[in-house]
Amino acid sequence: MDWDQELDARGLLCPLPVLKARKRLQGMDRGEVLRMVATDPAAVIDVPHFCGEAGHELVGSADEGEAQVYLIRKG
């Protein structure tokens, strides 16, 4: 899947990955996709929760080495 912007949140711990994603998504247009790469173990819980609360769509997630990749479509 293609994405419009990418956020490298590797090495950041909760709540920073979600806070940085929120800030990046604010500057994006509705329907655009943010690819976020994170290594925070809590992100597997935090990112889906954030998407549900903020009205964004978690399009997909996958492991990429020691990191997790999240594709978030701005709602």
The residues that are catalytic are 14
Q: Which two tokens stand for residue 47?
A: 């990112």
Alpha-carbon torsion (58, 20, 65, 46), positive or negative: negative
Determine contact, residues 74/32, Cβ cutoff 8 Å.
Answer: yes
